[in-house]
Amino acid sequence: MQKKLWEATISQKENSNLRSFEKFLINKYNFKSNKNYKKLLKWSLQNPSSFWSDIWDFAEVKGVKSLKNKFHKKFTKNQFLVNSKLNFTENLLVKNNNKKAITFISENGFKETRSWIDLKKNAEDLATFFKKHKIKKGDRVAAYMPNQIETVECFLATAAIGAIWSSCSPDFGTPGLIERFSQIKPKILILTDRYYYNGKEISILERLPSIVHKIKSIKDVLIFSYPGKKLTKISNLKNVNIFTKKNIVHSKNKIFKYEKFDFNDDLAILYSSGTTGKPKCICHRIGGVLLQHLKEHKLHCEIKPGDNIFYFTTCGWMMWNWLVSALASEASIVLFDGFPMHKNKDLLFKIAEKEKISLLGVSAKFIDQLKKLKLNIKSKFKLKYLKTICSTGSPLSSEGFEYIYRNVKKNVHLSSISGGTDIVSCFVLGNIFSPVFSGEIQNNGLGMDVDVYSEKGESILNKKGELVCKSPFPSMPNKFWNDPGGKKYQSAYFLKYKNIWYHGDYAERKKNGGYIIYGRSDATLNPGGVRLGTAEIYSVIENFKEVKESIVVGQKWDNDVRIILFVVMSKSSYLNDDIILRLKKRIRSEASPRHVPSKIIQVSDIPRTKNGKIVELAVKNTIEGTKIKNVQALANPNVLNEFKNLKQLKF
């Protein structure tokens, strides 16, 4: 029985952006609907040409729209709104007043703001600086920066002149950064001198000599200071020009001209996690990203002018791009840099309260931590302005859903979302017309022909299978960099099902149109030939206060697969026979006998990517003695040594 946790009021639905869009369609097409999301979704899938064109009109995109689309039998050769012209940055800098556009807050409480007029001025000055140093359309601009205001300004400046942006957060070590940026050959590198995490100062500047030595394409380096700090002393480097903020000249009277670029030109390069090989350089297009983000922000997340949006993210995660695009909806954004529980477990909610946040975005892992700490947020913070909480990064359990409504805020739209770097947006997310059910993502995104397939390629309902997308969409990647003929692109998404986008997520589609995501399908367990998701095991373990974290993998054993559970214990606990017995008993009763691990082993830590995702495949490969192709993708690669040659796994 589905447990309904929240439903918008009649007034909320009637005054929503989604209702305005519905009326827009009713007026234009005599479309028959009355706050019915299923009808809207069906129409968007049946009329893709009209739908994406209507998003442009409804969101009042600045540019020259062409109604031409290139539809092709081959999924990746489809293009929307071909020959349309726009400037991404011009569409984000929609205001020009002294109200705040961006707020930066560091973990130690330092805060600064940027008005719309100053944001525009700074972005245009940077764009002029780039042009002066011969950065042009198609050139790559690479950034190695924390989540500060200057990072956003550099991105806006890059997009303003048609150059291609790419960023890595400072928690990427030097080898990981070099492996990514060396593939795209940037002309300029932008970095911050240092950053802070949980009270510790970490130098980025000392990594610079190694980076420019390895990436020969970098001729210019632009260095910013960490907010609130004086710039660290810089040493000269051979064959590279060093610039700082003082080299960026403000031209008072000159009006910056925003050149219009093709809808399908390149905007930014993001990277796959690289756990299965060298990180893929995923090239995203200007118009597709803008339209998709406007659709998701306005119609799915109900972002309105004057709202304050706060997503906890780094510049190495696609959610940073998603957050910055909220400017296009005339919303103000909040950037946080550092450890989200520095000195205060409820630090992010303290910020949300003070900054009058309308939409708060966090990871499922963060919500799980709050639940384990038994924090009662609503007893301390009213969160009066908070309308929406977004959760992503990994599946949010039913317990996580219920924790939010019980301990954070009762009247809030909990919008669990799932998509990825591959599309720099979402396949499935929320909407204000439909109720929120425990453990379920509400629906497909409008215009996204998402389904769940069996191994045989058949659409299935109320069963676990592969998350797929059956029709093209504007934010699918333009290409992979250095991928002649598109072979890597094709093999990444289209090998499993012919001409159907295979995303690699294990999911279940419910009768009501909702989705449950069970994690990456490449980490799926298959004991006795029965496919099992790891999420069922995790949801049981989350309720054990003795267990801090866990990771579940399948180990090849005796011509079959057996389930191995690794646990990181809480400080006051250690793994003993009693806890092992209780874990197995609970998994047996709450998941199934097939889910019970053959072995439960204590470790000190769990490998994860820079974005905080646990890496089941890396553990599986390690315990089976398979070489991991790219340990540089991991934030803590040394921890894999704990999983090698374990005696417990030899019998």
Mean pLDDT calculated for residue range 429-442: 96
* 225 within a domain of the structure (yes/no): yes
Separation of alpha carbons 272 and 293, rounded Å: 20
Q: What percent of the chain has pLDDT over 90?
A: 77
Task: For residue range 114-124, list pLDDT tens digits in order.
Answer: 999 999 999 99
Residues in Cβ contact with 325 at an 8 Å cutoff, skipping those fewer than 6 apart = 92, 289, 290, 293, 294, 297
The structure's pTM equals 0.87
**pLDDT for 359-410, tens place per residue?**
999 988 899 889 989 999 999 999 999 999 999 877 888 999 999 999 999 9
Percent of the chain past pLDDT 70, that is, above it, reads 97
Out of 25-34, 95-104, 267-276, 560-569, least confident range: 267-276
- CATH code, domain with 125: 3.40.50.980
Angle of CA points 621, 623, 629, to nearest 5°: 25
**Residue written as token pair 């300029």:** 188
Quote the pLDDT of residue 208.
Answer: 96
341: its two tokens: 């529980």
Alpha-carbon distance of 310 to 145, in angstroms, equals 18
Helices 48-58 and 37-46: crossing angle in degrees, nearest 10, is 110
Domain finish residue from 201, 221, 246 = 246
Residue 158 or 558, more confident: 158
Query: What DSSP character marks residue 405?
Result: I
pLDDT at 267: 98
Residue 82 to residue 200: CA distance in whole angstroms = 49
Q: Domain for residue 122, yes or no?
A: yes
Tell me how far apart the alpha carbons of residues 72 and 82 are, in angstroms, rounded to a whole number: 13
The tokens for 648 are 């417990």
Residue 584: inside a domain: yes
Report for 151-155, 313-317, 505-509: range of highest mean pLDDT: 151-155
More confident residue, 273 or 144: 144
- For the stretch 53-71, pLDDT in tens is 999 999 999 999 999 999 9
Last residue of a domain, one of 221, 246, 271: 246
Confidence of residue 513 (pLDDT cuts 50, 70, 90): very high
Banded model confidence at residue 490, pLDDT cuts 50, 70, 90: very high
**What pLDDT score was predicted for residue 34?**
84
Q: Count Cα atoms within 13 angstroms, Cβ side, for 294.
A: 26
The mean pLDDT of 434-444, rounded to a whole number, is 96
Between 37-46 and 17-29, two packed helices, what is the crossing angle to 10 degrees? 50
DSSP 122-186: HHHHHHHHHHHTT--TT-EEEEE--S-HHHHHHHHHHHHTT-EEEEE-TTS-HHHHHHHHHHH--
Domain presence at residue 558: yes
* Each residue's pLDDT tens digit, 69-108: 999 999 999 999 999 999 999 999 999 999 999 999 999 9
> How many other C-beta atoms can be found within 10 angstroms of the C-beta atom of residue 246?
7
Out of 195, 218, 246, pick the residue that ends a domain: 246
- 541 part of a folded domain: yes
Residue 227 DSSP symbol: T
Domain encompassing residue 625: 524-650
Least confident of 41-55, 268-282, 385-399, 483-497: 268-282
Helix then strand then coil, in percent of the chain rounded to 5, is: 35, 25, 40
* Residue 422 pLDDT greater than 80, yes or no: yes
- Which residue, among 571, 576, 569, 518, has the nearest Cα to 544 in the 3D structure? 569
Does any domain span residue 127?
A: yes
Question: Could you give the number of structural domains in the chain?
Answer: 2
Distance from CA of residue 621 to its chain's centroid?
Answer: 25
Q: Determine the average pLDDT of the residues in 196-204.
A: 94
| Residue 642 belongs to domain with CATH number | 3.30.300.30
**305 falls within a domain:** no
Task: Give the whole-angstrom CA distance, residue 554 versus residue 526.
Answer: 7
Closest alpha carbon to 394 in 595, 609, 546 = 609
Does residue 533 form part of some domain?
A: yes
Q: CA nearest 427: which of 478, 501, 363?
A: 501
Average pLDDT (311-318) is 92
Whole-number pLDDT of residue 192: 98
Residue 529 has pLDDT above 60, yes or no: no
Tell how strand 200-203 and strand 194-197 pair up. Answer: antiparallel
Residue 530's pLDDT band (cuts 50, 70, 90): low
Task: Give the neighbor-by-neighbor strand order of the sheet with 63-64.
Answer: 63-64, 85-86, 261-262
Mean pLDDT estimate for the chain: 93
- Asked if residue 251 has pLDDT above 80, the reply is no
What whole-number distance in Å separates Cα of residue 366 and Cα of residue 377? 13
Show the tokens assigned to 370.
């709050």
> Picking from 30-34, 82-86, 318-322, which range would have the lowest pLDDT averaged per residue?
30-34
Residue 276 has pLDDT above 60, yes or no: no
At 296 the pLDDT is 98
pLDDT of residue 1: 67
Give the pLDDT score at 524.
63
Core vs surface per residue 221-233: b (16+ CB within 10 A) or e: bbbbbbbeeebee
